[in-house]
Structure 1
Amino acid sequence: MTLRARLDAMPRDMRDTLFVLAVVAWVIAPHASHLPWWTLGLALCLLAWRGLLAWRARPLPGRWVMGALLLLAVGATWLTHRSLVGRDPGVTLIVLLLALKTLELRARRDALVVFFLAFFTLLSHFFYSQSLAIAAAQLIALVGLLTAVVNAHLPVGRPPLADSLRIAARLTLWGTPVMLVLFLLFPRMAPLWGMPGDELAGRSGLSPEMTVGEVARLALDDSVALRVRFDSPQGEPPPRSTLYFRGPVLSEFDGRQWRESWEGSLPAQLQVRGPAVPYEITLEPSRRRWLLTLDAAATAPELSGQRARMTPQLQWLAQRPITDVLRYRAQSHVDFQHGPLQRVPQLAVYTALPEGSDPRTLALATQMRADVGARPAALVEAALARLRTGGYRYTLEPGVVAANTADDFWFGSKQGFCEHIASAFVVLMRALDIPARIVTGFQGGERNPVDGYWTVRNSDAHAWAEVWLAGQGWVRVDPTTAVAPGRTSELQRLAAPRGAFGQAMDSVIAPGLVQQLRAAWEAVNNGWNQWVLNYTQSRQADLLRQLGLSSLGTPQWQTLAQWLAGLAALAALAVGAWLWRERHVPEGGWQRLRRQACTRLQQAGLELPTNAPPRTMADLARARWGGEAADIAAWLLRLEHQRYAPASSDHPAAQQLSRLRRDFKSLRWPRPAPTQAP
């Protein structure tokens, strides 16, 4: 027996239960990426158990078993989160309660509780992500749940699930205009939840700390960090070698780890030269307050609903952590100068080194002073020349570094990625009594040919150095460029080794096609971010002004409330008119066709009562016109058959009515007999 035949022969209770379980599993599945592993495992085991009971027509577990499972779920949640209150424990509990409730699925009342829990679980996905992929998955889950709800309200017979699916799809379409109106006009609010923590150890990306040498192999994270749209006529950025997006500045070093430090902070004293570069950034959530800007921005980025401030290290910070996609405009100058021009005591913080660390690097500094002299600019150039000619290598697999990280780089492994190179360079500069610090951020990016945005990925995360020179202030020095010039000038990136699956896919799909598909998908995601996730209060206010719905002196929320109330009143009137028509004109599609046929026959001269059934009309038409009325009689009998014959899954009622309505228009009706003059 085929699967289709077995499904057709399956009892309705079994079929409906298995369908509900499949929809619930689809609702729960996206939570696998952020909930404890045991939560998903236990939930799927409970759903599988309920499906087995339905398949074998076994009784459901009793109260004691359900009580024990509930205590297990609550206890495991408490042991994992040490709380039952909050986003993560709350979502964990709702997922487990949804799975547990399916074990009590006996009547329609139980099914409705399952549906309500599933709708709430559906909403909880957006506590973690509002991406386009999640939205598409939840739309499928929504249609599935509506199908199950419609099916539960058809208690008689064995209606096909396809009919319930069509009704659910229509409900979704009918609700779309309401959703769009509420999305556009409902007052924008700040999010009430945060994003999950990010684990960046061992992966490329930004962090408030930088530990050198503990990661033996760096995995490139190709996820998008930010998107940039430059406002030049061609959308082109400044020279690629100047594309430095500034992030945290690290100045405190304990021999292995670099941290941010506000001790001895000096005023920024930023001075810019030349024209500004205007651009717009769409920043992905980071749970940090960092506002990435092109180095250096003299004016605050334009944010919606909050202000930004600049630290003495030229880093811009938002008022609160960025937990959602954030779009802001900024202007930067690639030609700038900052910091004091003369040496001041506060600069001593940037020459400090841990006592007893990196003795060979200290000896190298002494030798360089003897060879080159004490002029700082010459010492900086000598260090860069050593990186260019000393056999140093830029790699993603530097191996685990010894305790003295700078000594290991300069005299041992001679290899590393940007953090190793920048750290060793800054340690050498401090050993030379040249104030120096590490700046982290992003460097480079790539232009998406589909939408024209420049995409900066987490794999573009970079670390470079700033050294202080008398008369110049802080000067950017990128020692990685000395080792790998293509890293900044041509935006060449190291590629992570491809696994067996990736190599096999290369033989099936051309790499160029993969790049084109990724560019198209990222352009679609960017559009989702720009027009949906980033529909802020300011954009809503702009829309109201463009539509002429906002007047000066009237608060925005009052305007929105007035228009929403007006639209709600119009919708209520429309629903009321429809209900009145349904009550006072109780004729559906079938009755309408019967009345139209009756009217046509009466106009042709056939005496008929207004409530004549189709079979009576067919008999009288054949008696009056004979063979000329054969098509009309056959159509009338089909109309009666559609009304009273058992429903067929192959020809649903709506489809039959549509065909009857179409055939009605093609019938040739008898003409009225001419009236004779008296």
Structure 2
Amino acid sequence: MSLPRDTRDTLFLLAVIAWVVFMQIGHIPWWCSALTAVVLVWRGALTLRGQPLPGWRWRVGLLAMTLVATWLTHRTLLGRDAGVTLIVVLLALKTLELRARRDAFVVFFLGFFTLLTHFFYSQSLLTAAGILIALLGLLTALVNAHMPVGRPPLAQAARIAAGMAALGAPIMLVAFMLFPRLSPLWGVPSDGMEGRSGLSGKMRVGQIAELVLDDRLAFRVRFDSTAPPQRDLYFRGPVLTDFDGVEWKPLRSAFPPHMELQADLVVTGEPIRYEVTMEPHPQPWVFLLEAADKPPELPGMRAFMTPELQWFTRRPMMEMVRYRAEAYTQFRHGPLEPPLALQDQTALPAGFNPRTLELAQQLRREHGAGPASTPALIRATMERLRTGGYTYTLDPGVYGQHTADEFWFDRREGFCEHIASSFVILMRALDIPARIVTGYQGGELNEIDDYWTVRQRDAHAWAEVWLRGQGWVRVDPTSAVAPGRTGSLERLRAPQGAFASAIGAIDPGTAQRMREVWEAINNGWNQWVLDYTQGKQLDLLKNIGFESPSWIDLAYVLIGVVVLVSLVGAGWTLWERQQHDPWLRLLARSRQRLQGLGLDDSAHLTPRELARWARERLGDTEFAHTLGAWLLRLEAQRYAPHSPDTLATLQAEFRQMTWPKKDTR
């Protein structure tokens, strides 16, 4: 079925807008996606049926409803999230008054602006590919709107749009490389990172187990030399000390600052040097391999270490960041003798886990009490975990008020935070100072690019106990229940849907290989495009001859390039103005050929008159009929409203004609 041009062009534009909005579905409210879909389908139906567009009352009513819904959702009409919601709906509503070319241009530029908003949320390679498709679609619609009357094919407009994009690519590349970066790429004020999962500053039993459902990246690590054994890949995060019976939180000590515990970190051995590319997360934490005695090299930021060896910055890590760091797997930290502040590490709330307290009394009777018995009590607890029928599971069910009692005596199964929490509670019941450390453990080595990939599902909780003469010592009770979790990196997998199961059933090895290749490509994009900082720009200037470049030199170079390109463009424009339009050039070439056949003055003759002359002059020959028909089609291509011929087709036929060598009179 052949649609009228207006109908075809409108449906094509609606399809492009639908693609632009589809990529934003994960970042806009559900009602915004639904309203936009309804408006676009409604507009498409009106176009196909040839019905009039709705009046202004409909548009005003929908706009008012959008403003109210946006306010109720975001509690503001300003900011990133509210602004993106409004711009998406305005783009859809504008199609309801798409009557003239001027309205179409407004839609085009609203579409271009909406494309930019995608980078507020993601700068991944997949996002860039989707935006490139949408950009070519909008350019095609824009070019098509400028094409002459008739029904030029969309393929022709797409070819022109692709050529425009190809011509603009060098300019885009120069601007990307030379435009001074006074902040990170695409850096914008953020409204927060609602909906992004990750480690929290507090822990409720069962919380970390939920992260195993999240397969997104936390960070990537590349070691300068051989990576440590997998059992030593502990990336330290929040340390949790205060326990109210339900939730673990960071320490809020009642002791004065001069009496609080200090880090007292002492490292030995050779440092492990590595580089981390960390995904954005809504906390100021910097995840470092245990243990680091020096701050990481963060671009434009400073990191600080707490007495619990946790590293953090002054602001949330809302953008992807790459940093270098050093770690020592051989270390000790904390006081060697028991200060008063250690009392915070043995506190337990009253009225919780009575059976665990009884278990502590039993262990004391069996192994003794006091500092000398502490190692034996820890070994006995770990042996109980290994041999007591305890299992490591993602879905142990909902724990009640006495979480440690349920783990030790009833359920005997849990995820890492169930095990760590129950272990620390038992240690404190034994008067052994203990606390919970959260972070990430392990990861997967991508053999394509030699990066370790650490995901949210690698989130982990372990324990630290204090021993006289040794300080804080890491004890991972999960390793006693499931040695594969920290040794060979055995991971619990979330239940998969039908689609994921079907893919996994094809060939796990092939699927894993494909995933590694994709992640290596995406990581290369992150390293060389998203992490193209001002430092790399200045290094580029050094390579082309600047001794000590600054951002001012970058500006000068960019201005010079812009001036040069402008001069080249101006020269091209002057040259182009001296040329005729392609149709007139083709007509002039045909006149020149006819002059070689005896036509004296053809400057004033139309294609139809030239065709008549050719038939009269050349007689009843096949060439005369072919040339005459071609000249009539050339005229129709210019002036007929629905010519089936394109200028490119006529140019190709002209080149293929076999012209007589001499006058055939």
Specify if TM > 0.5: yes
Structure 1 residues 591-600 or 83-92, which shifts more? 591-600
Superposed CA deviations along residues 186-219 of structure 1, whole A, max 9, x for unmatched, are 111241232752547xx7x422111015799775
CA drift of 1:371 comes to 1.0
Deviation at 1:597, TM superposition (A): 7.8
Query: Structure 2 residue aligned with 1:523, among 520, 524, 530?
Result: 520
Corresponding residue SS for 1:646: helix
> Take 1:490 and 1:638, find their aligned partners in 2: how far apart are those partners?
78
In structure 1, how many angstroms separate the alpha carbons of the residues matched to 2:250 and 2:649? 69
Task: Confirm whether residue 12 of structure 1 aligns to residue 8 of structure 2.
Answer: no
Inter-partner Cα distance in structure 1 for 2:284 and 2:393: 30
The one of 333, 345, 354 aligned to 2:340: 345
Which segments of 5 or more consecutive residues in structure 2 lack a partner in the other structure? Answer: none
Deviation at 1:412, TM superposition (A): 1.3
> In 1, distance between residues paired with 2:618 and 2:6?
52
Tell me the distance in 2 between the aligned counterparts of 1:262 and 1:557: 45
- Are 1:38 and 2:31 counterparts? yes
Q: Which of 538, 543, 555 pairs up with 2:540? A: 543
Within 5 Å, give how 1:270-285 maps onto structure 2: 270-285=265-280
Question: Which residue pairs with 1:572 in the alignment?
Answer: 566
**Superposition deviation, residue 166 in structure 1:** 1.3
How far residue 660 of structure 1 moved from its aligned partner, in angstroms, is 4.2
Q: 1:634 to 1:210 in 2, by over 3 A?
A: farther
Mapping for residues 109-258 of structure 1, pairs under 5 Å: 109-154=102-147, 156-188=149-181, 189-190=183-184, 191-194=187-190, 196-199=192-195, 205-213=198-206, 219-232=212-225, 236-258=226-248
The answer on whether the counterparts of 2:392 and 2:481 sit within 8 Å (CA) in structure 1 is yes
- CA distance in 2 between counterparts of 1:215 and 1:318 reads 23
Give the letter aligned to residue 529 of structure 2.
V
1:563 aligns with 2:554: no
User: Which of these residues, 387, 390, 393, is aligned with residue 389 of structure 1?
Assistant: 387
What letter matches 2:521 in structure 1?
V
Output one character per residue of 1:505-545: Cα deviation in whole Å (capped at 9) or x when no partner.
444x2222211211111111111111111112222222222
Distance 1:82 1:220 in 2: 30
Contact 2:447 2:516 in 1 (8 A): yes
Deviations 1:210-264 (A, max 9, x none): 10157997753221111111111xxx31111101111111111111111122536
In structure 2, the CA distance between the partners of 1:605 and 1:668, relative to structure 1 (3 Å rule), is closer
* Residue type at the aligned position of 1:314: L
Distance 1:486 1:404 in 2: 28
Equivalent runs, 1:331-480 vs 2, <5 Å: 331-373=326-368, 374=370, 375-480=373-478
1:51 aligns with one of 44, 52, 58:
44
Quote the offset at 1:650 in angstroms: 6.7
Alpha carbons of 1:241 and 1:213: their partners in 2 closer, same or farther (altered >3 Å)? closer
Question: 1:568 and 1:173 mapped to 2: Cα distance?
Answer: 18
Change (3 A) 1:560 1:659: farther
Q: In structure 2, do the counterparts of structure 1 residues 490 and 216 end up closer, same or farther at CA, with 3 Å as the change threshold?
A: closer
1:89 is matched by which residue type in structure 2?
A
Q: Are residues 601 and 102 of structure 1, via their aligned partners in 2, closer, same or farther at CA, if it must alter by over 3 Å?
A: closer
**Is residue 2:302 matched to residue 1:304?**
no
- Aligned partners of 1:333, 1:649: CA distance in 2, in Å? 76
Contact 1:338 1:473 in 2 (8 A): yes
Counterpart of 2:324 in structure 1 is: 329
Distance change in 2, residues 1:322/1:215 (3 Å) = closer
**Match for residue 647 of structure 2?**
653
Q: Distance in 2 between matches of 1:280 and 1:650?
A: 61
Q: Tell me how far apart the structure 1 counterparts of residues 444 and 118 of structure 2 sit (CA, whole Å).
A: 31
Q: Please give the alpha-carbon distance, in whole angstroms, between the structure 1 residues aligned to 2:354 and 2:563.
A: 80
Q: CA RMSD for the aligned pairs?
A: 3.0
Contact 1:187 1:557 (8 Å CA) reproduced: yes
The residue identity in structure 2 corresponding to 1:73 is T
Partner of 1:82 in structure 2?
Answer: 75
Asked whether the equivalents of residues 233 and 442 of structure 2 are also in contact (C-alpha less than 8 Å), the reply is: yes
From the superposition, tell whether residues 498 and 28 of structure 1 become closer, same or farther in structure 2 (CA, over 3 Å): closer
User: Using a 3 Å threshold, how does the CA distance of structure 1 residues 620 and 245 change in structure 2: closer, same or farther?
Assistant: same
CA distance in 2, matches of 1:430, 1:526: 44
CA distance 1:658–1:468, shift in 2 (3 Å): farther
Instruction: Kindly indicate whether the alpha-carbon contact (under 8 Å) linking 2:212 and 2:493 is maintained by their aligned counterparts in 1.
Output: no
**Number of residue-to-residue matches in the alignment:** 648
Q: What is the aligned partner in structure 1 of residue 18 from structure 2?
A: 25
Query: Aligned pair in 2 of structure 1 residues 449, 642: CA closer, same or farther (>3 Å)?
Result: farther
Give how far 1:276 is off.
0.8
CA 1:227–1:86 in structure 2 vs 1: closer, same or farther (change >3 Å)?
same
Distance of aligned partners of 1:630 and 1:620 in 2 relative to their CA distance in 1, 3 Å threshold: farther
- The 3-state SS of whatever aligns with 1:476 is strand
Give SS of 1:227's match: strand
- Where 1:287 maps in the other structure, the secondary structure is coil
| Preserved CA contact (<8 Å) 2:634 2:650 | no
Unaligned 5+ segments in structure 1 are 673-678
Other structure's SS at 2:199 match: coil
Contact 1:622 1:630 in 2 (8 A): no
Residues in 2 aligned to 1:198 and 1:464: alpha-carbon distance in whole angstroms: 27
In 1, Cα distance between equivalents of 2:612 and 2:94 = 57
Segment drifting more, 249-258 vs 536-545? 536-545
Distance (Å, rounded) in 1 between the aligned partners of 2:650 and 2:205: 73
- Provide the rounded CA distance (Å) in 1 between the counterparts of 2:130 and 2:316: 27
SS of 1:249's partner is strand
Change in Cα spacing, 1:155 to 1:366, as seen in structure 2 (3 Å) is same
Q: Partner of 1:675 in structure 2?
A: none
1:94 is matched with 87
1:561-614 CA-to-partner distances (Å, cap 9, x unmatched) read: 11111111111111111121123x223556666767888999x99796695979
* Contact persistence 1:216–1:400 (CA under 8 A): no
Q: Secondary structure at the match of 1:343?
A: coil
**Aligned with residue 286 of structure 1, among 281, 284, 307:** 281
1:349-385 deviation line (CA, Å, top 9, x unaligned): 1111111221111111122122112321221111111
Name the SS of the counterpart of 1:261 in structure 2. coil
Distance in structure 2 (CA, Å) of the matches to 1:12 and 1:142: 22
**Structure 1 residues 45 and 459: alpha-carbon distance in aligned structure 2, compared to 1, 3 A threshold:** same
CA distance in 1, matches of 2:221, 2:341: 36
Residue 42 (structure 1) shift: 1.0
- Paired with 2:252 and 2:158, the residues of 1 have a C-alpha distance of 61
Deviations, residues 130-172 of structure 1 (Å, cap 9, x unaligned): 2222211111111111111112223512222221111111111
Read off the aligned partner of 1:100 and give its amino acid letter. Answer: L
- Whichever residue aligns with residue 426 of structure 1, its letter is V
Q: Distance in 1 between matches of 2:522 and 2:150?
A: 45
Q: Percent same amino acid at aligned positions?
A: 54
The question of whether the paired residues in 2 share the 8 Å contact of 1:128 and 1:195 is answered with no
**Equivalent-residue separation in structure 2 for 1:39 and 1:596 (angstroms):** 57
1:108 and 2:101 correspond: yes
Deviates more, 1:415-424 or 1:152-161: 152-161
Match of 1:676 in 2: none
Does 1 or 2 have the higher relative contact order (CA < 8 Å, sep 6+)?
Answer: 2
User: How big is the shift at 1:470?
Assistant: 1.1
CA–CA distance in structure 2, aligned partners of residues 267 and 658 of structure 1? 83
CA shift, 1:620, in A, is 10
Q: Are 1:347 and 1:435, in contact at CA under 8 Å, matched by a contact in 2? A: yes
Cα distance in structure 2, aligned partners of 1:607 and 1:157: 33
Spell out, residue by residue over 1:545-564, the C-alpha distance to the aligned partner (whole angstroms, 9 max, x if none): 2233x432x5x221111111
